[in-house]
Structure 1
Amino acid sequence: MRKPNSMKGLEDLGRKRLSRNFFFRDFLHSEIADFYRIPNIPDDPDLAIAAGRHLCEELLEPLQATFGRLHIRSAYRSAEVNEYGNRNGLNCASNASSAAGHIWDMRDAEGRIGATACIVIPWAWDNHQQEGDWRRIAWWIHDHLPYSHMEFFPKLWAFNIQWHERPKRVISSYAKPRGVLTKPGMANHDSNHAECYAGFPTLAT
């Protein structure tokens, strides 16, 4: 598929189905793009669609099936939108760091693909708002789903969740307690975490 160069072309891209419940249009919203009037359109739609399908099918669909409707805060960013956000201090990492992350249609330095979405799980926030409770959902996902990287934030326990063809299995947070929760080599990485999310729903498919 060629990069859309018309409203009709962008409509067609938005109708591309990534999984049972998600279409590409669900991931195109960007406050940066809207406010600063920068088109949030992939240069390589086919690559963006391929990466997005993995993100949706392997991570977002099982999360939504288990916990109910997800809120998509931020997902796909064009290289142009992401660069503007990085250059102007709008909470965007560099394009090199965001490749195969928020920039779905850009391979990383190793030539691998990936995709990131920033989401909120309303069920988790409604039921677990005490300081540090973001760790409950983090450990549940760690034990059940093939994520690559998760990064948590204080508001609503929003978090970036990444699918990548070579998963890193790292969890970090800007919410208290800040820092790295786990990564390969840490003593807690491969242990049993079920007690951390007691009462959570069973994984649905």
Structure 2
Amino acid sequence: MKKPASVAALDDLGRVQLSKHFFLRDFLYSEIANFHGIPNIPDDPDLAIAAGERLCDALLEPLQATFGRIAIRSAYRAPAVNGFGNARQKAGKGGYNCSSNAASSAGHIWDRRDAAGRMGATACLVLPWFAQRYEAGADWRALAWWIHDHLPYHSLYFFPKRAAFNLTWREAPERRIDSYIAPKGCLTKPGMANHSGSHAAWYAGFPPLPREGSAANAAG
């Protein structure tokens, strides 16, 4: 598929269904693109679609089946959008929070592979079901460990506002969790003693992963 060069072509691209409940258009909105007038359109639509399908099927569908509606805060960023945001961030302009295009490839930039050649995609999410509990004092690590024990994620990064988190699917996943919420830093990564085994005590009372999502379970 060619990069859209008309409104009609972009409309057709947005109609591509990535999974049972998600369409590509759900992931194309960007505050940076909207405010600064930079088109947020994939250069390589086929790669963006392939990565988005895996993100949705393996991670987002099981999350929505378990916890209810997902709120997508940000997701796909075109290289031009992400590069602009990164330049503004490095210049000390607040609110952009974009890493370099190299670091964002196979992350927020769905249509570029990372340095290791892996395909991937990131979405920043809020789970309203958990956000309400977080505002009432729930520990963000409860949700982090639930995802770790149930889903084949590559990386998780949690943020203080409504316990939003970046969720990444990537080929050959590393399975690492970090947070800007206290306790800040790395919660787990391969080689740490807490990486394996069950963490069910952290998420007692959480709904179980529905049977239809069990095929995506990487932790067993």
Give the alignment's TM-score, normalised by structure 1. 0.98
Which of residues 113, 122, 131 in structure 2 aligns to 1:116? 122
Gaps of 5+ in 1: none
Alignment-derived partner of residue 95 in structure 1: 101
| Mapping of residues 1-205 of structure 1, within 5 Å | 1-89=1-89, 90-129=96-135, 133-204=139-210, 205=212
Quote how far apart the aligned CAs of 1:129 are. Answer: 2.9
Contact kept, 8 Å, 1:64 with 1:70, in 2: the verdict is yes
Structure 2: which 5+ residue stretches go unaligned? Answer: 90-95, 213-220
Helix, strand or coil: the match of 2:135? Answer: coil
- Give the aligned residue type for 1:53: E
Indicate conservation of the 8 Å contact 1:132/1:176, yes or no. no
Identity of matched residues, %: 64
Runs of 4+ in 1 over 4 A off after TM superposition: none
CA distance in 1, matches of 2:169, 2:197: 22
For residue 106 of structure 1, report the CA deviation from its aligned partner: 0.4
The one-letter code matched in structure 1 to 2:131 is W
CA offsets per residue over residues 12-40 of structure 1, 9 Å max, x none? 00000000000000000000000000000
CA deviation vs aligned residue, 1:79-115 (integer Å, no higher than 9, x gap): 0000000000110000000000000000111111000
Q: Which moved more, 1:71-80 or 1:130-139?
A: 130-139
